Amino acid sequence: MRLVMLGTAGGPRPVVKRAAPAQAVLYRGEVHVIDCGNGVARQMAMAGISRRDLTATYITHHHADHMLDLGALPLIAWTDGCENVIDIYGPPGTASMTEDFLSMAWPEIEARTATTGRRAFPEMLRNTDVPEARVIRDENGLRVSTVLVDHPPFEVALGYRFDSDEGSVVFSGDTRFSPSLVELARGADVLVHEAIFPEALAAQAEGSKAETLIEHLTSCHTTAADAGRAAREAGVGTLVLSHLVPGSDVVSDEMWREAAASDFDGRIVVARDLQEIGLR
Ligand SMILES: [Zn+2]
Ligand SMILES: [Zn+2]
């Protein structure tokens, strides 16, 4: 089982050196993509990951940085020749977003189907909305389970855990420090956790209603130090800091690492786009 970080910046605003949040789990020829930030298909191309083998996508919640390419990624995979049924998991409302995307892209889908004879695209999409914590998939040696994490104002925001005979990896999605996430991550090889750096948030808030945005960031997300605490309490082997806010160079790798290390003495990786992370 391989873990590839496709995009590592948090928030909807593009930054120069990091793409929007997305990760790939590759196992037995299947490609599983966790979150579909804007540009995820291109990041897969950059990482050398086949879109034809796209098996399933997993949306953590409905902030734009996590779902903007929810429909675009499967559509691009289809134009690449993917013929799989693609499972789309996400909080309630995800299936209707897929339907909305099909309406928006219908002229393209109809035209391309007519000119290429491809398999009907809508038939390839299989939606599963996930309203509560449970095992959502157990196929081909890979088990995927979820919990509800705490990311106001969303009622449902999901963390995901992937287990196979080659290891385990957990994705926090966006959350403030969340005991349910700690439970999900118990004993995992790798925990990919979102992180903010409160002392540097002014850079992120530039041009917005700064006070309101900073209030949201500090009350609905997790500091690198608390991501370290979650990793320690869960007893994971490796903590990967990603969905970095701010995602610019204002905060160096060393600053991120030091903050997380204040409460965790395992391996800490400050994620980079396209980086592959060994599970053990
Ligand atoms: Zn986010
Ligand atoms: Zn969010």
Q: State the distance from the centre of ligand 2 to the C-alpha of 61, rounded, in angstroms.
A: 7
Decide if 116 contacts 155 (C-beta within 8 A).
Answer: no
Residue 208 has what pLDDT? Answer: 65
Q: Quick one: pLDDT at residue 204?
A: 67
Nearest CA to 187 among 203, 172, 167? 167
Q: 90 CA to middle of ligand 1, Å? A: 14
CA 272 to ligand 2 centroid distance, Å: 19
What pLDDT shows up at residue 110? Answer: 96
Residue 54 half-sphere exposure toward CB, CA atoms < 13 A:
34
- From first to last of its 280 residues, what are the pLDDT tens digits of the chain? 999 999 999 999 999 999 999 999 999 999 999 999 999 999 999 999 999 999 999 999 999 999 999 999 999 999 999 999 999 999 999 999 999 999 999 999 999 999 998 999 999 999 999 999 999 999 999 999 999 999 999 999 999 999 999 999 999 999 999 999 999 999 999 999 999 999 898 766 776 678 888 888 889 999 999 999 999 999 999 999 999 999 999 999 999 999 999 999 999 999 999 999 999 8
Specify the pLDDT at position 218. Answer: 87
Distance (Å) from CA 20 to ligand 1 centroid: 8
Q: Work out how many domains the chain is built from and give that number.
A: 1
DSSP per residue over 15-35, as a string?
Answer: -SS-PSSEEEEEETTEEEEE-
**Distance, CA 151 to ligand 2 centroid (Å)?**
7
How far, in Å, from the CA of 216 to the mean position of ligand 2?
10
9 Cα: distance to centroid of ligand 1 (angstroms): 8
Residue with tokens 């903050």: 259
Domain range for 35: 2-277
Q: 193 CA distance to ligand 1 centroid (A)?
A: 11
Distance CA 42, CA 131 (A): 30
The overall longest dimension of the chain from CA atoms, in Å, is 59
Evaluate if pTM is beyond 0.95: yes
> Residue 210: which CATH number?
3.60.15.10
The Cα 90–Cα 105 span in angstroms is 20
Return the structure tokens found at 15. 């930054």
What is the CA(91)–ligand 1 centre distance, in A? 15
Q: How far is the CA of 243 from the centre of ligand 1 (A)?
A: 7
What does residue 37 show for φ and ψ, rounded to 5 degrees? Answer: -65, 160
